Structure 1
Amino acid sequence: MPGGDFHPVLFFIVAAWILVAGVGVVALRSIVHSAVSMVFCFLGVAFAFALLHAELLAIIQVLIYVGAISVVIIFAIMLTQQQTGGLHLFFNRRSIWALPLAVGVALLLSAVLIASDVLPEGSEAHNPGVGALSALLFNKYVLPFELVSLVLLAAMVGAIVLARREGKD
């Protein structure tokens, strides 16, 4: 790894954390508890990015997924009616095959990735860092960046106009 301080044991602990939080998302009875478990899953993914020296991805993960998407989902849960039923809504006769199928697909994908030369041994990932990315974004790609910002601004103004129209009706 570029930084030289990658700890596989710590990575597997974080992977277990993500796995437990992901199982909590689908298995917890309360939908609010599932949403909180999803936040912990997103935080675990951000920590895994940080362990892999992808600091920009870790920051984006925290800002967008933990900060924005999780808050939107929790607001949607709070503002809509809950469906009760707990685990019997999730576990039924058809879902018995879900775990063996998921494990089989994971094993198949692992075998294909190991057999292929997707990332040859000894090669390192290219991680330019935030400075190089920002220099590229604001120098070479400044026009597309500004066009995307104008499209996002137009979408926000349109959403505000539509929300005000619905509020008057």
Structure 2
Amino acid sequence: MTVELRLSINDGTYPVTVDTRETLLDTLRERLDLTGTKKGCDHGQCGACTVLADGRRVKSCLTLTVTVDDRAITTVEGLARDGVPHPLQRAFIEHDAFQCGYCTSGQLCSAIGMLAEAADGWPSAVTEDLTAAPGLDDAEIRERMSGNLCRCGAYPGIVAAIRQVAP
């Protein structure tokens, strides 16, 4: 069965007809030519496909497109504003937070979502004091980003870039 949707992606509207079983990842890449979002494992384990839905992280390989027609989707293509890179994109460049770059779009979207979660007071598995204001030391950043894998091992640069941007 197919459904007609009007997706809100990167501040634009995209009319699309999709099969009800189609993932957001496949819609982005195959129908809308938004290829910045990568297909890694296709099982929700690597995080390469991470995008933002209403500012929260989602793994687009596990998300059915029909479930996001009323949500604002942001992909890596939508992070820069008026040609100016997002501060986290600049920090990734400054800290050499990528090597092959395959995971970078998912790392960026996940980090932006993670920073919002931390700002909203969401604890992680390593948060020691649940009553204190959230702080993002390296252990917190690593734990909160643990759903995003980098085969090249660029983790020191990724953590440093996020730490630079974190409040």
TM-score, normalised by the number of residues in structure 1? 0.22
Higher relative contact order (CA 8 A, sep 6+): 2
**So what's the TM-score if we normalise by structure 2?**
0.22
Q: Which structure's residues are more often helix, by fraction?
A: 1
Specify the structure having the higher radius of gyration (Cα): 1
Structure with greater strand percent? 2
